[in-house]
Amino acid sequence: MANLKEIRTRISSVQKTKQVTAAMKMVSAAKLKKAQDAIVQIRPFADKLHEILSNLTGSLTDSDDNLYGVERKPEKVLLVAITSNKGLCGGFNSNVIKQVAILAGTTYAEQNQRGSLHILAIGKQGFGILRKTYNVVGEYNDVYDNLNFENVSAIASFVMEEFVKGTYDRVELVYNQFKNAGVQILTSEQFLPVIQPEEEMSTQTEYIFEPNQEEILQELVPKSLKTQFFKALLDSFASEHGARMTAMHKATDNATDLIQDLNLTYNKARQSAITNEILEIVSGANALAD
């Protein structure tokens, strides 16, 4: 009977876990809808603005004006690792952390060895792990409490200023790009310097500047970069909820299968216990009859 009690206790525990995972799935599904709408709305605008930025910086000949497109040898590199503050979302965070490790061990292995590879962590999950191995120079975990353009612009401005000052020669973003609720695309893209369009792949656009080129550059280029940074955060935020919803859905299905297996095991054990009791009763009755 003790075995039966243990099985009943485990069934009750799995049922409670199933209720929790099902509730988390519903919450993530509700949050995903809002996050998905945000990234779908900003993506066409951000892509077009980035295209204009690339063409604009490519048409500049004066390096004093082309502050964010200056190509330098990547002696000092900053990787911006965008993860989440919470877990229980499958491989969402671990994929970003693994990608940072791959970049640190291959593309920027030399910079990592001499200590000139720095990490800027956005999200508690990435910060907690990356700081144990790499030189994490900053963390922005509170940005998810109120994810809007103003808060993200402050982070982007800091990164842009460090690049202009020469603190870093290259800045890369590592994050999950949102495709749909079940698919997140791990992305590593160069944020600074601005990648120039390839001549054979794109046509150079002639621009008429109004009021003048200097004012346009001061307004458009920083705004475009901040928009790209904001889009990366929105991509990651939507991907997080999609990954969590998928993970909780799988966890709920696994809990359902486990409950069925435990019920089957419980019924078999109960049937065996009843059979043994009947045999004992019959054996005792036969003994008394003899």
Cα–Cα distance measured from residue 154 to residue 156, given in angstroms and rounded to the nearest whole number: 6
Q: Is the CB of residue 89 less than 8 Å from the CB of residue 126? A: no
Residue 70: closest CA among 172, 203, 164: 164
Average pLDDT over residues 22-47: 92
- Give the predicted TM-score (pTM) of the model: 0.86
Burial of 247-272, coded b for 16+ CB within 10 Å and e otherwise, reads bbbebbeebeebbeebeeebeeeeee
Could you give the percent of the chain with pLDDT greater than 90?
67
* Whether the predicted pLDDT of 27 surpasses 70: yes
216 catalytic residue (yes or no): no
Determine the pLDDT at residue 204. 58
Q: Under a CB-based contact definition with an 8 Å cutoff, are residues 90 and 243 in contact?
A: yes
pLDDT at 153 over 80: yes
CATH number for the domain whose boundaries are 23-243: 3.40.1380.10
Read off the pLDDT band of 139 (50, 70, 90).
very high
pLDDT at 213 over 80: no
- Indicate which residue of 46, 78, 81, 89 is catalytic: 89
User: Do the two domains 2-20+248-283 and 23-243 of this chain adopt the same fold?
Assistant: no
Average pLDDT over residues 199-208: 58
Task: For 230-286, write each residue's pLDDT tens digit.
Answer: 999 999 999 999 999 999 999 999 999 999 999 999 998 888 888 888 888 888 777
pLDDT at 32 over 80: yes
Which class would CATH give 2-20+248-283? mainly alpha
Q: Where are the domains of the chain?
A: 2-20+248-283, 23-243
Give the pLDDT confidence of 64-122 residue by residue, as tens digits.
667 888 889 999 999 999 999 999 999 999 999 999 999 999 999 999 999 999 999 99
Given a cut of 60, whether residue 63 has pLDDT beyond it is no
Query: For the chain, what is the mean pLDDT?
Result: 88
Residue 57 or 69, more confident: 69
